[in-house]
Amino acid sequence: MSIRAVRGAIQVEADERQSILDGATELVTEVMARNRIEPDDLVSILFTATPDLTAEFPAYAARQLGLTDVPLMCATEIAVPGALPRTLRLLAHFDTELRRADIRHVYLRGAAALRTDLPR
């Protein structure tokens, strides 16, 4: 068993609480599904949000999914000029038998443009 990391991102519609919660829920759910991650496999999740998203903590969505004993942290993504707006990102660490090459990183909605090299 190894600890691996998986990345993901999603662009949300607006800086509104429900939009952020819905986007974060979709992102966490898809990352876990594509990588066959069970809640007990999670070591931690770091969320970032672009500076234009301030209406809610994306980690709150993970708590609503039942990830109440997983260490979660939120931070602001650096404000690079021209960067994709309204974007939530995550970096999740988890225990797995998967090889690094088998990890499925997840880029949803407009954030798919960030990693056009990945299969959908």
As annotated, the active-site residues are: 7, 63, 74, 77, 89, 107, 115
Show Cβ contacts of residue 14 under 8 Å, excluding neighbours closer than 6 positions. Answer: 86
